Amino acid sequence: MACCGRRSERSPVASGLPSFGPSAPAAATRHEAPPATPVQFEYVGATAMTVLGAASRRRYRFAATGARLQVDARDAPSLAAVPHLRRVRPA
């Protein structure tokens, strides 16, 4: 029997049709590694320099010769390849 142009008010479960409505939130499946210990770099160039970390996309500003910064350990390999930057080993 028709009903003023509206669809049936029956629930999809009662009609045997699959339900595509909102579902419960999925459990988080992404596992993030714990933050690594920062790595220190020293700038030995003549002028200031800004470097972009390849992993974190963070900008590191070395203002002058001898400037030392703590950098994200994930960025260490890319910063190690930059001329005039030296990794400082812990004593």
| Local structure of 80: helix, strand or coil | helix
Q: With respect to residue 42, please indicate whether it lies within any of the assigned structural domains.
A: yes
Q: What is the pLDDT of residue 51?
A: 97
How many folded domains does the chain comprise?
A: 1
Q: With respect to residue 10, please indicate whether it lies within any of the assigned structural domains.
A: no
Q: How far is CA 36 from the centre of its chain?
A: 14
Q: With respect to residue 28, please indicate whether it lies within any of the assigned structural domains.
A: no
Please give the single-letter amino acid code of residue 12.
Answer: P
Print the domain residue range for 68.
36-91
Q: With respect to residue 3, please indicate whether it lies within any of the assigned structural domains.
A: no
Q: How far is CA 79 from the centre of its chain?
A: 18
Spatial CA neighbour of 66 closest among 49, 44, 41, 91: 44
Q: With respect to residue 27, please indicate whether it lies within any of the assigned structural domains.
A: no
* pTM (two decimals): 0.61
Beta strands 39-43 and 68-71: pairing type?
antiparallel
Residues of the chain with pLDDT under 70: 1-35
Q: With respect to residue 9, please indicate whether it lies within any of the assigned structural domains.
A: no
Q: With respect to residue 82, please indicate whether it lies within any of the assigned structural domains.
A: yes
